[in-house]
Amino acid sequence: MRVAILDDYLDTLRTLDCYRRLEGHDVTVFTDHTDDVDQLAGRLERTEALVLIRERTAIRAPLLERLPELQLISQRSVFPHIDVDTCTQLGIVVSSDLHAGSPSYAAAELTWGLVLSAMRKIPQQVTSMKAGGWQSAMGRSLVSKTLGVYGYGRIGRVVAAYGQAFGMQVVFWASDSSRERARADGYTVADSREAFFSTSDVLTLHLRLVDATRGIVERADLVRMKPDALLVNTSRAGLVAPGALVESLRDGRPGMAAVDVYEHEPVLDPSDPLLGMDNVVCTPHIGYVTRDEWEVQFADVFDQINALAAGAPINVVNPEVLDRARFRDGSSRR
Q: What is the pLDDT of residues 115-170, one digit of tens each?
A: 999 999 999 999 999 999 999 989 999 999 999 999 999 999 999 999 999 999 99
Active-site positions read 236, 265, 285
* Preceding peptide of 227 cis, ω within 30°: no
Residue 122 pLDDT: 97
Instruction: Write down the H helix ranges in the chain.
Output: 37-44, 61-64, 84-90, 105-119, 122-130, 154-165, 176-184, 193-199, 219-222, 244-251, 291-309
Q: Please choose, from the candidates 25, 23, 28, the residue with its C-alpha nearest in 3D space to the C-alpha of residue 43.
A: 28
Cα torsion through 7, 9, 10, 13, rounded to 10: -10
Residue 324 pLDDT: 72
Question: How remote is the C-alpha of 274 from its chain's centroid?
Answer: 18
- The amino acid occupying position 82 is I
Residue 99 pLDDT: 79
Would you tell me how many other CB atoms lie within 10 Å of the CB of residue 303? 17
Q: What is the mean pLDDT of residues 61-81?
A: 96
List Cα–Cα distances, 325 to 98, 311, 314, 318, in angstroms: 22, 10, 13, 11
Question: What pairs with residue 73 in β-bridges?
Answer: 50, 94
DSSP 90-128: HT-EEEEE--TT---HHHHHHHHHHHHHHHTTHHHHHHH
- Band of pLDDT at residue 332, cut at 50, 70 and 90: very low
Q: Please choose, from the candidates 147, 122, 149, 150, the residue with its C-alpha nearest in 3D space to the C-alpha of residue 136.
A: 122
Question: How remote is the C-alpha of 110 from its chain's centroid?
Answer: 12
Residue 330 pLDDT: 47
Strands 230-233 and 256-259: parallel
pLDDT, tens digit (0-9, with 9 covering 90-100), for 288-325 = 999 999 999 999 999 999 999 999 999 999 999 998 76
Residue 325 pLDDT: 65
> CB–CB of 3/47 below 8 Å?
yes
pTM beyond cutoff 0.85? yes
Q: Please choose, from the candidates 49, 78, 64, the residue with its C-alpha nearest in 3D space to the C-alpha of residue 317.
A: 78
Residue 326 pLDDT: 57
- Band of pLDDT at residue 327, cut at 50, 70 and 90: low
166 vs 206: CA distance, rounded Å: 19
Question: What pairs with residue 169 in β-bridges?
Answer: 146
Q: Residue 292: which residues within 8 A CB-CB, separation 6 or more? A: 106
